[in-house]
Amino acid sequence: MSTTEPNRAESAVVARALTKTYGTGAATVHALAGVDVAIASGEFTAIMGPSGSGKSTLMHLLAGLDEPTSGDVWLAGKWLSQISDKEATLLRRERVGFVFQSFNLLPMYTALQNILLPLELAGTKPDQDWLDQLVALLHIEDRLTHLPSELSGGQQQRVAIARALITRPDVIFADEPTGNLDSRSGSEVLSFLRTSVRELGRTVIMVTHDPIAAAHASRVLLIADGRIAGEIENPTPEAISTSLDMLRTDEVA
Ligand SMILES: Nc1ncnc2c1ncn2[C@@H]1O[C@H](COP(=O)(O)OP(=O)(O)OP(=O)(O)O)[C@@H](O)[C@H]1O
Ligand SMILES: [Mg+2]
């Protein structure tokens, strides 16, 4: 395992020779086949690539939600292989926010209770101004007393985003956060994520299939077959679409 600090002291997240293998024998899947990447603190990074290329697997490993088969992850100033499970739990709870493809809202809790859950776990009180800001921005003011089963998919997604941001995490991981939203809510969420980076100094790492969504980021990482296949600085939707087309062509070839 790695013992030295990453070269880029300003890196929020670093992956070194990261691999993840699922299954055994004939059913073996190399979801990640050796990923080296450094994500700068205070940047908005998008991760793109074909379905099954390893994007969600990479996000789970970078966020410390799952363990790699080999390699190591540097997150919020620590190599995850070198800290205890308890330390890792605290680090995730206090420094990291997640918005994932499945919303994972607790069905017996109201929207508001779901949003406040991370604070409850940490034993801290909500900052009412921040809660009000999040709820207004995400347009869920009149849904706070509802159960998840009484909310649309898009509303559940917005509750999950508020829950991810309520602790004001340093690093926010978002796996297709706008996948279930209409275009207006989607672009509001994206501009909110961008504001979190530009004005609040957060680090955002987002998986998306949408070139227009990815163009909100300052850097796009392309992933194919479990490896980093390229990157685009200051991306435009056109540059992203061209690169994705080339990845697909490579796959067919
Ligand atoms: N728990 C698991 N058990 C077995 N195989 C898995 C598991 N999770 C993912 N995989 C496999 O690993 C590969 C990468 O999956 P992953 O979910 O990371 O892809 P993705 O890029 O996020 O795809 P999508 O765009 O469809 O969300 C796929 O081949 C997938 O089938
Ligand atoms: Mg995925």
pLDDT tens figures, 162-213: 999 899 899 999 999 888 778 877 887 888 888 888 887 889 999 999 999 9
Separation CA 187–CA 125 (nearest Å): 30
Ligand 1 near 41 CB (within 6 A): no
pTM for this one?
0.89
Alpha carbon of residue 67 to chain centroid: 16
For residue 60, the ligand closest to its alpha carbon is: 1
Residues 6+ apart with CB under 8 A from 163: 105, 114, 115, 117, 118
Q: Which two tokens stand for residue 62?
A: 């970078």
Q: Please give the C-alpha separations between residue 183 and each of 83, 127, 188, 190, in angstroms, as whole numbers.
A: 41, 29, 9, 10
Separation CA 74–CA 2 (nearest Å): 9
One-letter identity of residue 223: I
Ligand 1 near 51 CB (within 6 A): yes
Question: Which residues keep their CB under 5 angstroms from ion ligand 2?
Answer: 56
- Residue 4 has a pLDDT of 55
> pLDDT tens-digit profile of 168-179?
899 999 999 888
Q: Please give the C-alpha separations between residue 195 and each of 167, 185, 221, in angstroms, as whole numbers.
A: 16, 15, 20
For residue 35, the ligand closest to its alpha carbon is: 1
For ligand 1, mutation pick of 32, 53, 62, 248 (most atoms within 8 Å of CB): 53
Nearest to 221 by CA among 65, 49, 84, 6: 49
One-letter identity of residue 23: G
For ligand 1, mutation pick of 18, 20, 29, 47 (most atoms within 8 Å of CB): 29
Ligand 1 near 60 CB (within 6 A): no
